[in-house]
Amino acid sequence: MLELRDICRHFGGVKAVDGLDLDVRQGEILGLIGPNGSGKSTTVNLIAGLYKPMRGSIRFLGQDIGSLAPNQRAERGIARTFQNIRLFGHLTVWQNVWAAQVVREGGWAGFRRRWLAGADAARDEVARLLAFSGLADKADLLAGNLAFGEQRRLELARAAASGAPLLLLDEPAAGMNAEEIGELDERIRKLREQGRTILLIEHHMELVMEVCDRIVVLNFGRKIAEGTPAQVQADAQVRAAYLGADETA
């Protein structure tokens, strides 16, 4: 579905992503893990088009998307969440999800006509996504006033609302308690059941190992391992990378 070949992005002397080959297969939940600063978020930003690679190619659904702007990639079907949450804080929860449907409907052009024609269906869809995210009773609150875990849930609902077949989730469990992480696990599985393909970046190893079909491990911008959760956990290089970075990991 998504193919990165020999992707490089350096920042000054820092080789954030350094010759990365990455394949995301249709329908899978692929984990992307690695110590802090190993290039995970940079990879997401390269896929979503926020950064331009210095070298290498990115193909999505068989087409080269390397020269497309972020909004064009979103329209092709790539949605993402941010490690540092980015919501419309001054809009309500409901409005945040509603606005995300715009992308699926092909941008703002003709949106008013489409909205008037399909307003009931659009409202039902927003209600369904808010229920899915456990945010139905928060629909009229300003997004900026939600608790942290709720904001993460809203980000996921918004990505799902875009209708994109590929979701890039950058640390969706960060700052969540164990109960919330359990719910997130179920939501990620449900999204996959609905046909979404998911690239999951996470530091919560229990979640990653439970939910992912395959895992790719980065260290210093390079892929050091790839395989099933069991294979990756048993990998000596992976263990060394994590122990070197953080004794508790």
- Residue 131 CB, nearest approach to ligand ATP (Å): 31
Q: Pick the piece of the chain touching Mg ion (CB under 5 A) from 78-86, 134-142, 180-188, 191-199.
A: 78-86
Residue of 32, 62, 27 whose CA lies nearest to 46:
32
- Which residues, 119 to 158, sit near ligand ATP by CB under 6 A? none
Q: CA–CA distance from 180 to each of 6, 58, 106, 130 (Å)?
A: 36, 34, 33, 15
Q: How far is the CB of 67 from ligand ATP (least distance, A)?
A: 20
How far, in Å, CA of 228 to CA of 209, rounded? Answer: 9
Do 29 and 211 contact (CB within 8 A), yes or no? yes
Residue 159 CA from chain centroid, whole number: 8
Residues in a beta bridge with 11 = 14
Decide: is 165 part of the binding site for ligand ATP (CB under 6 A).
no
| Rounded-to-integer distance, Cα 14 and Cα 12, Å | 6
The site for ligand ATP, by CB under 6 A, has a size of 12
Binding characters for ligand ATP, 70-99, by CB under 6 A (x = yes): -------------x----------------
Considering the complex, what minimum distance in angstroms separates the CB of residue 36 from ligand ATP?
Answer: 4
Taking the complex as a whole, the smallest distance from the CB of residue 168 to ligand ATP amounts, in Å, to 12
53 contributes a contact to ligand ATP by CB under 6 A: no
Residues 204 to 223 in contact with Mg ion, rule: CB under 5 A: none
> Which of 4, 20, 34, 103 forms a contact with ligand ATP (CB under 6 A)?
34
Please tell me the number of Cα atoms within 13 Å of 188 on its side-chain side: 30
Contacting range for ligand ATP; rule: CB under 6 A; set: 11-19, 93-101, 102-110, 183-191: 11-19
**What character string, x for contact with Mg ion (CB under 5 A) and - otherwise, covers 11-50?**
-----------------------------xx---------
Euclidean distance between CA atoms 46 and 118, whole angstroms: 34
**Which residues on adjacent β-strands are paired with residue 233?**
none
Q: Where are the alpha helices (DSSP H) in 60-162?
A: 70-76, 93-104, 111-132, 148-161
The whole-angstrom distance between residue 202's C-alpha and the CA centroid of its chain comes to: 10
> Which does residue 58 touch among Mg ion, ligand ATP, none (CB within 5 to 8 A, set by kind)?
none
Residue 16 binding: pick among ligand ATP, Mg ion, none (C-beta 5-8 Å cut-off by kind): ligand ATP
Tokens representing 130 are: 């808010």
Q: In angstroms, give the least distance from the CB of 34 to ligand ATP.
A: 6
- Per the CB < 8 A criterion, the answer to whether 73 and 65 are in contact is yes
Residues near Mg ion, by CB under 5 A = 40-41, 83
Residues near ligand ATP, by CB under 6 A = 11, 14, 16, 34, 36-42, 83
